[in-house]
Structure 1
Amino acid sequence: MFSQLSKRPWLIAIVISLLLLLWLFSGSLFQARETADADQPMAEQSLARVEIQWLEASPMQRQLVVQGQVEPWRRVELRAQISGSVMRLDQDKGSRVEQGQLLLSLAPDDRTAQVARGVADVRQRDSEVTAATRLRERKLISANELMRLQSELAKARAELDSARLQLRHTRILAPFAGVYDQRQVELGDVVQPGQGLLTLVDISQLKVSAQIAQQQVAQLRLGQAVRVQVLDGRELQGELHFIAAAADPGSRSFRIEVRVANPERLRLAGASATLHIQTGEALAHRLSPALLSLDQAGRHGVKWVNQQQQVEFSPVQLISVDDQGAWVSGLPSRVALITLGQGLVEPGQQVLTQTAKEGS
């Protein structure tokens, strides 16, 4: 073959020219491919890829959820005002009583006699003052004598009032209608002033108390509807009737009280309860709690992508949480939420996005 080419030099020139053209063309293609590969990845390979999901805000009722304690509407411990022995237990523990009903009796001892003596003394002093007044009109006694007799009458009346009060304190009466809940004494016990005798509670209404954080108390107002859920699953309806004017010095939280009607007199006092307080309507997004993160200030929020394909972080307020997800407020009404890769990007970072598939 080479001998044939040597006899035809023009054919050698043609082959060399073809090889040279092929070499130049392949070099141009390689350079173009290298340039293209260098330009595109420099822009794209440096950008993180995230998956997004478009969410629309929906109106929902905003509410605060706090733990509380169910208490009787009224509770009072009746104490002895005088010394004496327990003479009679007029009611049994656990019985319902009406206002003014006799609950317990102390022995009157000589107090009945003291009242009788006081009545007699007042009558005598009163007759003496009446007679002295007539004599004074005739100027038969001095003004000082009449004044002395009037003073003794006033003293006798005061002693009679004191004796009657002492006698009245032997009868322990219900200050309001309620349930005779506890008794601290037994028949024959000797009691002293200030000693506890029995406890009376009123459960015709219930009071549910709780502590509200100082950041949330501004959302409350008297009369707001409150749903009370007790541990056995029952739900009661109530209204907010008290908000403390000052925070507790220790916890910096505010005490609130919810009034709950209890016509069936359910025995719930002392139990724990969850309060759901409606605080108005708000636009909110429903999302997985796993998408929540913290910024450098420790605020809860979520990451999303704006129109310039940059990552943004928005603090959010947690409205409610259930088995299906969390409702949060604080985001734009329509938002491209980062659902995959949010832990690998930071606010302000340019990213490449891919829309999540339905059901993923």
Structure 2
Amino acid sequence: MLKKLSFSPVIIAVILAVALLLWLFSGDNYSAKQQAPAEQQVPKAEIAVVETEWSDAKAYQATQVAQGQVMPWRSVSIKAQQAGTVEAILKQQGERAKQGDKLIKLSDEGRAASLAQAKANLVLRKSELDSARALGKNKFLSATELTRLESELAKAQAELTAAELAVTQREPVAPFDAMVDRRHIEIGSLVQPGTELMQLVQIDKLKVTAQVPQQHVSALALGQHVSLRLLDGRKLDGELSFISYAADTATRSFYIEVTAENPELWRIAGASATVEIALDAIQAHHISPALLSLDNSGQLGLSVVNEQKQVEFYPVTLLSADNDGAWVSGLPERAQIITQGAGFVKTGDTVRIAGAKA
């Protein structure tokens, strides 16, 4: 007699689970064989929307700005050429001296007597030579003796010139119209040759020196108008009078000089000033500085939309910037500048303009 088979509930559950898995797998496999996978949909590229405004180039008066040093037109240190004691000071500090005016007077120290002696000696030598020449005509004097007397006359003439110069140098004079800026001696001071007596400066005309970077020197030309702005706000007009032919090897900049009239004799020699050189007018655009950006190479520029509605990046040169905006060069005569959305597009992208401002 056959025994009745019995299965535990656990075995029955396992068998049912395996059967269910086999059925699900066979169904998915059959479906994959009967139906092709659905084609993936590629999203269409959307055209970026930007906002623009038109900008027209205008004449811009460019300037080259540099920091300069104001100098007297001429400055000279008057030094003693003879030894002696200061007897009189003829021009005081702060006084104006005309060319040829005497500045001080030194003691004589026997110079007047030496001059008188030199004059008398010259008269004597001339008389001796005249007599010798008369004798020479009658063959009573040798040619050698005549030559010696001519030499003595030349020596006497040289001694007279030196004596006259020594007397003249007792009273130094102003070499040009100037102001006495410093006095280094007092009455009774003992001076030697080379001792500093006074400092003279000419300030009715000024010389301003500055350095211009090498990339800007090509825009400069002699005769260009220059505006000088002092630290206290005062201004002077000048003219570019010199441009060096070689750059400083350390700074790669060029030395320039500006000539400026100072009719009111302002005390500004030695001070600093801002030098603004008026360059030739160029065509430029006035924009908001916020529109400027850098390309991948670090070049400053602006993004514009061309006639084909494509983005172009124009490198520009920043000419000036203030609270009212910035002036730049490098754009076309008329340009449609992107004002909104430039950060989301790149060169060559086709864009749609949301609203162009005239």
Same topology, TM > 0.5: yes
Query: What is the match of residue 212 of structure 1?
Result: 212
Q: Deviations over 1:152-189 (max 9, x none)?
A: 11011112211222222221111111111112233333
Amino acid at match of 1:283: Q
Q: Structure 1 residue runs of 4+, over 6 Å off?
A: none
Question: What's 1:43 paired with?
Answer: 45
Indicate the structure with greater helix content.
1
Q: Kindly provide the CA deviation profile for residues 45-88 of structure 1, in whole angstroms up to 9, marking residues without a partner as x.
A: xx665543321111222222222222221111222223333332
Distance of 1:307 and 1:332 partners within structure 2: 12
Alignment of 1:167-186 (within 5 A): 167-186=167-186
Query: How far does the alpha carbon of each residue in 1:254-289 deviate from its partner, in whole angstroms, 9 at most, with x for none?
Result: 121222222222222222222222221211111233
Superposed CA offset, 1:242-263 (max 9, x none): 1112222222211212222222
Shift in alpha-carbon separation, 1:321–1:195, aligned structure 2, 3 A? farther
Range moving further from structure 2, 269-278 or 339-348: 339-348
Shift in alpha-carbon separation, 1:66–1:148, aligned structure 2, 3 A = same
Distance 1:181 1:317, change over 3 A: same
Q: 1:289 to 1:110 in 2, by over 3 A?
A: farther
Secondary structure of 2:61's aligned partner: strand
Cα deviation code 1:209-228 (max 9, x no counterpart): 21111221111111112222
Q: Name the counterpart of 2:254.
A: 254
Residue 135 of structure 1: aligned partner: 135
**Which stretch of the first structure deviates more once superposed, 182-191 or 245-254?**
182-191
Q: 1:225 to 1:149 in 2, by over 3 A?
A: same
- Structure 1 position 294, deviation (Å): 4.2
Provide Cα deviations, 1:297-319, integer angstroms capped at 9, x if missing partner: 55443333333444433232233
Are the counterparts in 1 of residues 52 and 357 from structure 2 also a CA contact under 8 Å?
Answer: no
Coordinate RMSD, CA, aligned: 2.6
Shift of 1:134: 0.7
Tell me the TM-score normalized by structure 1: 0.80
Deviation string 1:24-58 (CA, Å, 9 cap, x unpaired) is xxxxxxx9xx96xx54xx311xx665543321111
2:21 maps to what in 1?
Answer: none
Paired AA for residue 43 in structure 1:
A
For residues 98-156 of structure 1, give each alpha carbon's deviation from its aligned partner in whole angstroms, at most 9, with x where no partner exists. Answer: 11111122223122222122111111111111111111111111011010011011011
Please give the alpha-carbon distance, in whole angstroms, between the structure 2 residues aligned to 1:300 and 1:167. Answer: 71
Does the C-alpha gap of structure 1 residues 58 and 134 become closer, same or farther in structure 2, counting only changes over 3 Å?
Answer: same
Report if aligned partners of 2:242, 2:256 keep a CA contact under 8 Å in 1.
Answer: yes
Supply the AA of the counterpart residue of 1:261.
E
Match of 2:326 in 1: 326
Gaps of 5+ in 2: 1-37
The equivalent of 2:266 in structure 1 is 266
CA pair 137-234 structure 1, distance change in 2 beyond 3 A: same
1:178 aligned partner, one-letter code: A
State the aligned residue count.
320
Structure 2 CA distance, aligned partners of 1:101 and 1:89? 12
- Within a 5 Å distance, the mapping from 1:157-236 to structure 2 comes to 157-236=157-236
Note the C-alpha offset of 1:296: 5.5
Give the corresponding residue for 1:307: 307
Cα distance in 2, alignment partners of residues 295 and 114 from structure 1 = 85
Decide whether the 8 Å contact of 2:304 with 2:337 is kept in 1.
Answer: yes
- C-alpha spacing 1:344/1:200, structure 2 compared with 1 (3 Å): farther
8 Å CA contact 2:289–2:325 kept in 1: the answer is yes
**Which structure 1 residue ranges, 5 or more long, are not aligned?**
1-30
Q: Contact between 1:64 and 1:319, CA under 8 Å: does it hold in 2?
A: no
Code of the aligned partner of 1:215:
Q
Q: 1:269 to 1:143 in 2, by over 3 A?
A: same
Identity %, equivalent residues = 48
Deviation at 1:345, TM superposition (A): 5.1
Q: Are 2:92 and 2:183, in contact at CA under 8 Å, matched by a contact in 1?
A: no
Q: What amino acid maps onto 1:256 in structure 2?
A: I
Q: What letter corresponds to residue 258 of structure 2 in structure 1? A: V
Structure 1 CA distance for aligned equivalents of residues 45 and 129 of structure 2: 116
- Which deviates the most, 227-236 or 138-147? 227-236
